[in-house]
Structure 1
């Protein structure tokens, strides 16, 4: 099990990073990314802070991915910020996509999908097919999310990913302890988004190391 999109007290989550890791371990997660909300003001700090928890995660048997979620960053600055995050040591860069429930700047999806340093486009909303094709070309995974509001467009995201041939991931966008999904919940979210059983099985058992190799 993996979750590539979670938040802690370092941004707007409710848990210390180590408590988040422990709760994920108890649920059976093998890979967890801490991706707190980032912009120019805190990018380096978030990477450094999450890195300090890596040994604790190992003690609990969790492969911790140090990451950030670039949030409401102007689209023209996404490539530079994503590159800087990787330069600071981030394993994974998520971009806060054009969800239908927040005023994300138009063009955010396009900038993320065309960026070689971005790994996941979180809750992409009503993503355009040309942006999904750019994601396929640049190895950016589109997210199916369990988070309320953001999940309204999961079905559209699945259809766009199918047509474009890009990768999908299933994440929680965890902010509170109750947001972490059980194995059964992850399965329900995948099927509920419109994936077939075979597609769900493939998406939920991705080789994350391979996904992040570009």
Structure 2
């Protein structure tokens, strides 16, 4: 989602030195087929650049009871990565979204807001990473997310939620975002290096 078409996102990622990028547009029942059908074409850029391109969706403002069906549909349609738009405090995301998401076959729960300990434990048990985000607004609860994740052992991953060119982070800035969330250097490196590499390996 945002200002850039996928090919420009990939090109800008290459210029910034990225070795992988996941493109996950906002999706619900009205557009998921269109997104995943079109996104398959972007994989061809791996032939032109030294970067791996993963395609998927960010399920957004979907009623919690309908999320399981949409996750299954996304996998059937070939989504390599599935993100659920969590209960950020700056949007009216339906209550129960976090809980529904962490019980399913997804990869990342994005900007999960004031996530509960119970839901963080489910995320841990189901190997779902919780997002530490650099996105303005969504990042207001980074400290809470980091604290609850550390209490429960849930995985953390720093993500940009890129909508515009200036949103794409350098490694140094991603590390600072992790530190700013309250992580020590060891856990900040896990959230910016080890966890992303682990996710890529499993895609």
Q: Give the TM bin, normalised by the shorter chain.
A: over 0.9
Distance 2:47 2:117 in 1: 39
Q: 1:106 to 1:207 in 2, by over 3 A?
A: closer
1:139 aligns with 2:127: yes
Task: Indicate the residue corresponding to 1:45 in structure 2.
Answer: 34
Task: Indicate the residue corresponding to 1:86 in structure 2.
Answer: 75
Task: Indicate the residue corresponding to 2:11 in structure 1.
Answer: 22
1:130-150 deviation line (CA, Å, top 9, x unaligned) = 000010111111000000000
Task: Indicate the residue corresponding to 1:204 in structure 2.
Answer: 192
1:161 aligns with 2:149: yes
Distance 2:198 2:183 in 1: 21
TM-score by length of 2: 0.95
Distance 1:25 1:208 in 2: 17
1:173 aligns with 2:161: yes
Distance 1:55 1:206 in 2: 27
Task: Indicate the residue corresponding to 1:105 in structure 2.
Answer: 94
Task: Indicate the residue corresponding to 2:139 in structure 1.
Answer: 151
1:2-34 deviation line (CA, Å, top 9, x unaligned) = xxxxx3xxxxx1111000000011111111110
Aligned residue for 2:58, secondary structure, equals strand
The alignment's C-alpha RMSD in Å is 1.4
Distance 1:121 1:207 in 2: 14
Distance 2:125 2:98 in 1: 14
Distance 1:138 1:153 in 2: 22
Structure 2 gap ranges (5+): none
Task: Indicate the residue corresponding to 1:96 in structure 2.
Answer: 85
The answer to whether the 8 A contact 1:21-1:57 is kept is no
Structure 1 gap ranges (5+): 1-6, 8-12
Total equivalences in the alignment: 202
